[in-house]
Structure 1
Amino acid sequence: MEDVLRGLVLIGSTREGRAGQRVGQWFARTAGERDDLDLSVVDLAEFDFPARYPARATPAMTAFTSQIDRADGFVVVTPEYNRSFPASLKQAIDFAYDEWQAKPVAFVSYGCSCAGLYAVEQLRVVFTELHTVTLRNTVSFNLFDMGPDGGPRDEAVRHAAGPMLDQLVWWGRALRAARRARPYVA
């Protein structure tokens, strides 16, 4: 079990009628077929976060950051809204800081014509500031290409999940070993 990576799939959309839950569940099922990952799914729609950042963390904020702290790597599932990512996702990301550091982050994105890639590019900047390692490979697809299982219909795009997860596991193990050997300095 020491070699198994504790991963977290973070569903970043909270809109009613969203596709994010279906996309996130598809990805979690796909990743769940691997024996080198122990994934949990965190859906931001299930948290009652405050509208404003409070002086003290709320129980929902603490529960969320505890899950981020326990994970060794992340897959962020994000839509693209107006060439960016959802405000709900930014709010949640900002609740944690040290908990993200020195861990890999991968992306599954969806959108219309750009397949969510503008959202991913902006998220890379945010996660770089949090001292994470963002992975080059992504799974990105057009929302109108979504299959009945919540994943892309295009087999080449579906196949992209494997190499991305290979990278997540590699970086996750390497960074976990590094954090254990020497505390990360931000």
Structure 2
Amino acid sequence: MASKPKIALIIGSTRQHRFADIPAQWMLAQAQARGDMDVEIVDLRDFNLPMFDEPASDAYMPSSNAAAVAWQKKIAGYDGYIFVVAEYNHSVTGPLKNAVDQAYTAWAKKPMAAIAYGSMGGARALEHLRGIAVELQMVPTRNAVHIGGGDFWKVHPGMGGSGNLADIEGALLPSAKATLDDLAWWAGATMAARSA
């Protein structure tokens, strides 16, 4: 492979008091320590995306909203994605679903991984996101990082937790390694396939 894959670590919650920044920074550190990918945080707060209101997906016609076009250009520059997935009522956040819907062609033929959190480790939300990703022609990795149950409450500062993932890192490191291994492999494979 000529170059390391460029990966977007997408923060999928925009709430003022979100927990997402804590797992995002932790996952960023895990990815950067490897040296086999370049990872950059992409925060949905930084994009003033309207609710999807185009006549059709950009798979069929160009988007007309300038914010949507800027978002599409931003995510098109990456070779894969790590989503920070908060579980709201058994699914993904509204802002994340809207951001994913604002693009189609930019996601296609690239891998996606995740670090998910919630009482059940964000598993239900991530399962929804994986189904959406398949429709968008992404390649969801098998492995993911899940922060749930007692570990979630132990570190969630809004629930009296420490706010420090180092307190539960031993439980997370094996899944983080497996997830990033998957992502690196699929990013390399899809980069090679797209350039062929």
Query: Who is 1:124 aligned against?
Result: 130
d(CA) in 1 for partners of 2:72, 2:7: 14
Instruction: Identify which of 133, 136, 139 aligns with 1:133.
Output: 139
d(CA) in 2 for partners of 1:51, 1:97: 15
Q: C-alpha offsets along residues 66-101 of structure 1, whole Å, 9 cap, x if unaligned?
A: 121111111011110000110100000011101111
Q: Give the TM-score of the pair, scaled to structure 2.
A: 0.85
Cα distance, 1:57 vs structure 2? 3.6
- Amino acid paired to 2:34: R
- Amino acid paired to 1:163: A
1:93 lines up with 2:114 in the alignment: no
After superposition, the Cα gap between the structure-2 partners of 1:99 and 1:151, relative to the gap in structure 1 and judged at 3 Å, is farther
1:64 lines up with 2:71 in the alignment: yes
d(CA) in 1 for partners of 2:170, 2:181: 18
Tell me how many residue pairs correspond in the alignment: 180
Matched position secondary structure for 1:144: helix
Equivalent residues in 2 for 1:35-184, closer than 5 Å: 35-51=35-51, 53-54=53-54, 56-112=63-119, 114-142=120-148, 143-146=152-155, 148-150=163-165, 153-181=168-196
Query: Who is 2:31 aligned against?
Result: 31
Uncovered stretches (5+) of structure 2, i.e. residues with no partner: 56-62, 156-161
d(CA) in 2 for partners of 1:107, 1:100: 15
Query: Who is 1:18 aligned against?
Result: 18
Cα distance, 1:151 vs structure 2? 6.2
Q: C-alpha offsets along residues 78-136 of structure 1, whole Å, 9 cap, x if unaligned?
A: 11000011010000001110111111000110001x11000011111100100111011
- Amino acid paired to 1:120: L
Q: What is the percent sequence identity of the aligned residues? A: 35
Query: Who is 1:184 aligned against?
Result: none
Q: Give the TM-score of the pair, scaled to structure 1.
A: 0.89
Which sits farther off after the overlay, 39-48 or 146-155? 146-155
Residue 152 of structure 1 contacts residue 158 of structure 1 at CA under 8 Å; is this kept in 2?
Answer: no
Which sits farther off after the overlay, 49-58 or 102-111? 49-58
Matched position secondary structure for 2:192: helix
Cα distance, 1:157 vs structure 2? 1.7
d(CA) in 2 for partners of 1:166, 1:89: 24
Residue 8 of structure 2 contacts residue 82 of structure 2 at CA under 8 Å; is this kept in 1?
Answer: yes
- Amino acid paired to 1:145: K
Uncovered stretches (5+) of structure 1, i.e. residues with no partner: 182-186
